């Protein structure tokens, strides 16, 4: 029996299970594991305050590969500086590598993210900032296939919630 584990699902399927691969037609079963939920992920940080556990989960999600990268004996700030912002750390390049491996046109997604990073929240603004034609159907299909579609957040074309009493702007 051979068990394949990893986060680059499309790569594994393409290289080991596709029609041209030696294992084609030999798959006996498949299980796609989901990320850990908040309660499970917070067990990685037993000494963090509840606020820091939430922050760690907001940064790392429930990805089993990412969670042990943070040192629970060090502060969130220290972990961000050494595990996310240090160009020699394994998580530093993950935000760039994952879309390149999983998506057909990562250039478009990076352009969209750049528009969002510059404060654009409406679809038209993001499209103008990204300088590319936004086609929602193919992107939405890929995101859904990756299991990352709209998890409780706001979607493209809508604005994030504003604090009470604030004006649009």
Predicted confidence at residue 29, as pLDDT, reads 74
DSSP state of 87: T
Residues 104 and 84 both lie in one domain:
no
3-class secondary structure, 60: helix
3-class secondary structure, 124: helix
- The domain tally of the chain equals 2
Q: What pTM, to 2 d.p., does this model score?
A: 0.59
Predicted confidence at residue 156, as pLDDT, reads 40
Question: Is the residue at 129 inside a domain?
Answer: yes
Residues 83 and 107 both lie in one domain:
no
Higher local confidence (pLDDT), 123 or 86: 86
Higher local confidence (pLDDT), 113 or 48: 48
Q: Write out the two tokens for 68.
A: 């042990």
**Burial of 164 by CB count in 10 Å (0-12 exposed, 13-18 middle, 19+ buried)?**
exposed
- 152: pLDDT confidence band, cut at 50, 70 and 90? very low
Question: Is the residue at 32 inside a domain?
Answer: no
Predicted confidence at residue 65, as pLDDT, reads 87
Predicted confidence at residue 7, as pLDDT, reads 62
Predicted confidence at residue 165, as pLDDT, reads 56
- pLDDT above 90 covers a percentage of the chain that reads 30
Looking at the predicted structure, is the pLDDT value of residue 123 above 90? no
Residues 6+ away with beta carbon under 8 Å from 70: 44, 45, 56, 60, 76, 79, 83
- pLDDT above 70 covers a percentage of the chain that reads 69
Question: Is the residue at 3 inside a domain?
Answer: no
Cα–Cα distance between 72 and 74 in angstroms, integer? Answer: 5
**Long-range CB contacts (within 8 A, 24+) of 94-101:** 94/66, 98/7, 98/8, 101/8, 101/10, 101/11
The whole domain housing 86 covers 38-92
The answer to whether the beta carbons of residues 32 and 148 sit under 8 Å apart is: no
Predicted confidence at residue 5, as pLDDT, reads 67
Residues 6+ away with beta carbon under 8 Å from 129: 114, 115, 118, 120
Predicted confidence at residue 70, as pLDDT, reads 95
Residues 127 and 86 both lie in one domain:
no
Main-chain phi, psi angles of 81, to 5 degrees? -65, -40
Alpha carbon 114 to its chain's center: 15
Higher local confidence (pLDDT), 7 or 164: 7
Question: Is the residue at 64 inside a domain?
Answer: yes
Looking at the predicted structure, is the pLDDT value of residue 34 above 60? yes
Residues 6+ away with beta carbon under 8 Å from 33: none
């Amino acid at each position: 029996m051979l068990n394949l584990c990893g986060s680059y699902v499309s790569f594994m399927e393409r290289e080991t299970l596709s029609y041209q691969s030696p294992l084609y037609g030999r798959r006996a079963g498949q299980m796609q594991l989901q990320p850990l939920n908040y309660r499970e992920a917070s067990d990685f940080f037993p000494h963090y305050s509840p606020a820091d556990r939430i922050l760690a989960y907001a940064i790392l999600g429930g990805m089993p590969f990412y969670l042990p990268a943070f040192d629970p004996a060090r502060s969130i700030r220290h972990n961000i500086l050494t595990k996310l912002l240090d160009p020699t750390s394994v998580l530093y390049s993950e935000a760039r590598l994952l879309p390149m491996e999983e998506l057909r046109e990562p250039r478009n997604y990076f352009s969209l993210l750049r528009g969002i990073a510059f404060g654009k929240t409406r679809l038209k603004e993001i499209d103008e900032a990204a300088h590319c034609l936004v086609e929602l159907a193919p992107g939405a299909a890929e995101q859904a296939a990756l299991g990352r579609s709209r998890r409780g957040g706001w979607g493209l074309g809508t604005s994030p919630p504003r604090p009470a009493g604030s004006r649009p702007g």
